[in-house]
Amino acid sequence: MDTALGRAAPDPSMLTFIGLGLYDERSITVEGREALAAADRAFAEFYTSRLVGTTVAELEAFHDIEIDVRDRAGVERDPGPILDAAADDHVAFLTAGDTMISTTHVDLRLRAHERGIETRVIHGVSAQSAAAGLTGLQNYRFGKATTLPFPGAHGGGDVPDSVIETIEANRERDLHTLVYLDIKVDDPTADAAGLGEDERYMTGDYAADLLAENWADELGVVVARAGSPEPVVAADRLSELATRSFGGPLHLLVVPGEPHHLEAEALEALAGAPAELVADN
């Protein structure tokens, strides 16, 4: 500011990772909104997850900033433009849900760090919090989470062994499993897998149908549109959930361990679980 006194101007070099939360432009924290207002430039990626309750144009209008949406290649193979911008200015990098969930973002943060760019993380609400909050299933009883891919997107059978093993290992310890459902956005392999659409979100009934091959009579809980004003939470046998329809994306599936008393009560009252299925043993 006062170079005559040899003081340098404050260094604006900064990369702030901001989690936008789960649903729309109001899912961001107040702190995140203020950080975005203070940023010179904003980048975003929506291939690891998406805000289904809003559009990029609505986000831009709400935050009064232009958002440069990068595809997977534009973040992972070619992060240069983001890093160059952050070396000169205060740059915000936006993602749906929490930030840093994906290895992509950790990698970007490390590259910024290597270049001497200060980084900051402003957390967003994650699907994990929402899955516990909406189902009444206790947070501390969730084991390792897993992701169920579309069949054909991997080798082997309809459900990858890793998914089955994770659910089995959690069930052995009487823990709940949060199953993230596959999202195909901006994925060059999508066509090859015969999906034929630019974006495709696995639904809870589709996932329940896949898992019912192994656990037809076991309890599952579908959470649709977590973080929206009207989320749907439905608990039933996986084979039953497979026959239902839960509306628009995003969906999650939870395969619970044996519900404790209060969990059973919540699943019955708030998710319509058949009483005999969640009976306290």
| 143 contributes a contact to a second copy by CB under 8 A | yes
| 27 contributes a contact to a second copy by CB under 8 A | yes
Q: How far apart are CB 172 and a second copy at their closest, in Å? A: 10
Asked if 48 contacts 102 with a C-beta cutoff of 8 angstroms, the reply is yes
Stretch that binds a second copy, among 43-51, 142-150, 190-198, 207-215 (CB under 8 A): 142-150
| 54 contributes a contact to a second copy by CB under 8 A | no
DSSP track, 204-249: HHHHHHHHHHHHTTSEEEEEESTTSSS-EEEEEEHHHHTT----SS
- Among the listed residues 84, 173, 104, the one whose alpha carbon sits nearest the alpha carbon of residue 94: 104
| 87 contributes a contact to a second copy by CB under 8 A | no
Q: Which is nearer to a second copy, 178 or 242 (CB)?
A: 178
Q: How far apart are CB 123 and a second copy at their closest, in Å? A: 4
| 31 contributes a contact to a second copy by CB under 8 A | yes
| 234 contributes a contact to a second copy by CB under 8 A | no
Q: How far apart are CB 51 and a second copy at their closest, in Å? A: 12
| 227 contributes a contact to a second copy by CB under 8 A | yes
Q: Tokens 């008393």 map to which residue?
A: 261
Site string for a second copy, 163-182 (x = CB under 8 A): ------x---x-x-------
DSSP 121: E
With CB under 8 A, what is the number of residues at the site for a second copy?
A: 60
Q: Which one-letter amino acid corresponds to residue 255?
A: V
- Among the listed residues 272, 274, 224, 266, the one whose alpha carbon sits nearest the alpha carbon of residue 245: 224
Q: Which is nearer to a second copy, 98 or 236 (CB)?
A: 98
Query: CB atoms < 10 A from the CB of 40, how many?
Result: 14
Q: How far apart are CB 193 and a second copy at their closest, in Å? A: 22
272, burial (CB in 10 Å: exposed 0-12, middle 13-18, buried 19+): exposed
Site string for a second copy, 109-138 (x = CB under 8 A): xx--xx-----xx-xxxx-xxx-xxx-x-x
d(CA 168, CA 158): 16
Q: Which is nearer to a second copy, 146 or 203 (CB)?
A: 146
Instruction: Please list, residue by residue across 186-217, b when 16 or more beta carbons sit within 10 angstroms of its beta carbon and e when fewer do.
Output: bbeebeebebeeeebbbbbbbbbbbbbeebee
**Residues found near a second copy in the complex (CB under 8 A):** 17, 19, 21-22, 24-31, 33-34, 98-101, 103, 106-107, 109-110, 113-114, 120-121, 123-126, 128-130, 132-134, 136, 138-147, 169, 173, 175, 226-227, 229, 262-263, 265-266, 269-270
